[in-house]
């Protein structure tokens, strides 16, 4: 089976035996849990769209190792066109789901490893690239969702991994056997972790020789013995326990993050892609980060949804003709399309690496992600401005349905007489969801810190700009030798 559909994906998750904890207890049924299920549905969209003829060009690709048609989320970028399509795929899915659809981290890990394993082999004569290709074929053939796990808890930020009072603050090798290694540690903020078949672990920062036990990369099935998932909370998450109510805002989809603990987990050698080659840890981090910063094309799609919601509530309120509302909608679009420029530009300016994989332009990918840490906050501010205060003072759906209070709510929350009050509720709840509720994790805070906090991009920007060239251009024009 080279491409699963949405139903097959869901069934494949049912076969996993994950250890997942939430609200103080272990979940018996992860797939049907009302809080997790919307996030699973968002990943399922990546499978569903791949089977739609109108999205085939964006959502599928031809494997460079088997020549078969595969889901683009398992593809290794072979040219600039692939990179551009990846950005377009992110926007498409962001617009379809209105949240984080989680599958990009795995795609970005695979692509980064396809560059770095090759480079390690070139220097050390190891065989990581061969192993990686075998693993990649397995992922492509089974159309798997992979969690790309980079972020360690990091403990005391002033200390490198080997100097931490608790050595497990960074995931590391604690034992070596003939057939593999044993690892201990954790990865934090793991997007889509419990909707994944596989976990691909990478180091979180540049390492020195003293940290070599921390310079590891490997992949494991997500239900490997010793791996434990502890679900993160999201604002308004328990509204999902109220059933399919309007109060959820986005009644179809959601995202999730989890802390993933590796409690002395065994990794066989054929799934190890870096082991103590500390001088390549930084490259793996940078390559993954650049790809993932490009992936924030997803935010443009969620921005499309928010802009659509803002225009809709303006119409429902009868305010859409006011010049300041029109101007705010233009401003939101300007910001959102500026974001789009960034993720298309870093793809268009990509280049071929030694392994044959196409990498994005690192400077432009970092500029794009840096814009993402800012513009959505302004887009959300404008959406809340247009929405009005009712977005946060509106009573519950149950009160609208109550025979005692419903009549008052329908009467006093009516605006444009052509629009049912319920529709006004629905669109306001969607704006609330994206700017304050569960989707705000993915639209705001995750924009800030996901794929690296703003300072990480500023460091990369400062490293990649050519200031001397710019100075030369200036000096030439005014006659300085």
**Residue ranges in contact with Fe ion by CB under 5 A:** 450
Question: Two tokens at 273?
Answer: 């892609």
Q: Catalytic residue among 10, 55, 104, 340, which?
A: 104
236 has catalytic annotation: no
- The DSSP annotation for 302-344 comes to HHHHHHHHHHHHHHHHT-TTSHHHHHHHHHHHHHHHHHHHHHH
The site partner of 295 among Fe ion, ligand SF4, none (C-beta below 5 to 8 Å per kind) is ligand SF4
298 has catalytic annotation: yes
478 has catalytic annotation: no
Q: How far apart are CA 308 and CA 328, in angstroms?
A: 12
- Provide the Cα torsion 84, 85, 88, 90; round to 10°: -110
Helical pair 323-348 and 362-372, crossing angle rounded to 10 deg: 160
Total Cβ atoms within 10 A of residue 69 = 13
Name 70's bridge partners: 61
**Which of 450, 452, 456, 457 lies at the binding interface for ligand SF4 (CB under 6 A)?**
450
275 has catalytic annotation: no
Q: Catalytic residue among 292, 340, 346, 370, which?
A: 292
The site partner of 296 among Fe ion, ligand SF4, none (C-beta below 5 to 8 Å per kind) is ligand SF4
296 has catalytic annotation: yes
**Which of 296, 375, 400, 443 lies at the binding interface for ligand SF4 (CB under 6 A)?**
296
Q: Catalytic residue among 198, 257, 277, 286, which?
A: 257
State in angstroms the smallest separation of the CB of 194 from ligand SF4: 14
- Provide the Cα torsion 179, 185, 187, 193; round to 10°: 50
State in angstroms the smallest separation of the CB of 400 from Fe ion: 35
Q: How far apart are CA 61 and CA 73, in angstroms?
A: 9
* Binding status of residue 343 toward ligand SF4 by CB under 6 A: no
For residue 432, what are the contacts with CB-CB under 8 A and spacing of at least 6?
249, 391, 392
362 has catalytic annotation: no
Per-residue x/- marks for ligand SF4, 156-195, CB under 6 A? Answer: -----------------------------------x----
* Binding status of residue 357 toward ligand SF4 by CB under 6 A: no
Per-residue x/- marks for ligand SF4, 86-125, CB under 6 A? Answer: --------------xxx-xx--------------------
Q: How big is the site for ligand SF4, counted in residues (CB under 6 A)? A: 12
State in angstroms the smallest separation of the CB of 292 from Fe ion: 7
Q: Is-contact 152 185, C-beta < 8 A?
A: yes
For residue 16, what are the contacts with CB-CB under 8 A and spacing of at least 6?
30, 197, 221, 222, 223
Handedness of CA 157, 158, 162, 165 (dihedral sign): negative
Choose the binding region for ligand SF4 from 50-58, 267-275, 291-299, 420-428 (rule: CB under 6 A). 291-299
* Binding status of residue 272 toward ligand SF4 by CB under 6 A: no
* Binding status of residue 298 toward ligand SF4 by CB under 6 A: yes
Q: What are phi and psi of 260, to 5 degrees?
A: -110, 120
Q: Which is nearer to ligand SF4, 254 or 442 (CB)?
A: 442
* Binding status of residue 339 toward ligand SF4 by CB under 6 A: no
* Binding status of residue 446 toward ligand SF4 by CB under 6 A: yes
446 has catalytic annotation: yes
* Binding status of residue 442 toward ligand SF4 by CB under 6 A: yes
Instruction: Count the alpha carbons within 13 Å of 305 in the hemisphere toward its beta carbon.
Output: 29
The site partner of 442 among Fe ion, ligand SF4, none (C-beta below 5 to 8 Å per kind) is ligand SF4
- Decide the pairing of beta strands 198-201 and 146-149: parallel
377 has catalytic annotation: no
- Single out the residue of 168, 191, 196, 147 nearest to residue 265, CA to CA: 168
* Active site members: 100, 104, 191, 257, 292, 296, 298, 446
Residues found near ligand SF4 in the complex (CB under 6 A): 100-102, 104-105, 191, 295-296, 298, 442, 446, 450
């Amino acid at each position: 089976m080279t491409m699963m559909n949405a139903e097959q994906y869901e069934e494949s998750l049912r076969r996993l035996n994950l250890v997942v904890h939430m609200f103080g207890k272990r979940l018996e049924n992860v797939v049907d849990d009302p809080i997790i299920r919307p996030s699973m549905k968002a990943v399922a969209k990546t499978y569903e769209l791949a089977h739609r003829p109108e999205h085939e060009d964006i959502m599928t690709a031809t494997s460079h190792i088997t020549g078969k048609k595969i889901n683009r989320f398992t593809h290794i970028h072979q040219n600039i066109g692939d990179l551009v399509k990846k950005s377009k795929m992110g926007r498409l899915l962001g617009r379809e789901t209105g949240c984080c659809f989680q599958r990009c981290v795995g795609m970005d890990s695979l692509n980064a490893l396809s560059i770095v394993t090759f480079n390690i082999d070139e220097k050390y004569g190891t065989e990581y690239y061969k192993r990686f290709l075998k693993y990649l074929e397995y992922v492509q053939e089974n159309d798997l969702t992979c969690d790309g796990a980079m972020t360690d808890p990091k403990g005391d930020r002033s200390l490198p991994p080997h100097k931490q009072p608790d050595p497990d603050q960074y995931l590391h090798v604690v034992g070596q056997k003939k057939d593999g290694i044993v690892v201990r540690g954790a990865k934090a903020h793991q997007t889509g972790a419990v909707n994944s078949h596989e976990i691909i672990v990478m180091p979180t920062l540049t390492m020195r020789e003293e940290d070599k036990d921390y310079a590891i990369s490997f992949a494991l099935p997500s239900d490997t013995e010793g791996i434990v998932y502890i679900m993160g909370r999201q604002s308004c998450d328990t509204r999902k326990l109220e059933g399919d109510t309007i109060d959820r805002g986005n009644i179809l989809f959601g995202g999730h993050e989890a802390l993933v603990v590796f409690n002395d987990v065994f990794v066989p050698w054929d799934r190890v892609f870096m082991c103590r080659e500390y001088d390549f840890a930084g490259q793996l981090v940078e390559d993954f980060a650049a790809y993932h910063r490009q992936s924030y094309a997803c935010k443009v799609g969620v921005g499309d949804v928010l802009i659509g919601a803002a225009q809709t509530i303006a119409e429902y309120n009868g305010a859409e003709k006011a010049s300041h509302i029109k101007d705010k909608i233009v401003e939101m679009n300007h910001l959102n399309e500026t974001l789009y420029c960034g993720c298309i530009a870093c793809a268009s300016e990509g280049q071929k690496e030694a392994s044959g994989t196409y990498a994005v332009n690192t400077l432009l990918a970092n500029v794009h992600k840096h814009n993402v840490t800012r513009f959505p906050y302004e887009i959300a501010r404008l959406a809340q401005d247009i929405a009005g205060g009712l977005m946060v003072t509106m009573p519950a759906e149950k009160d609208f349905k109550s025979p005692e209070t419903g009549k008052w709510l329908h009467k006093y929350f009516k605006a444009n007489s052509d629009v049912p009050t319920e529709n006004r509720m629905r669109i306001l709840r969607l704006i609330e969801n994206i700017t304050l509720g569960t989707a705000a994790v993915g639209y705001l805070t995750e924009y800030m810190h996901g794929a690296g906090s703003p300072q990480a991009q500023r460091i990369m920007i400062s490293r990649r700009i050519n200031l001397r060239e710019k100075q030369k251009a200036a000096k030439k024009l005014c006659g300085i030798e």
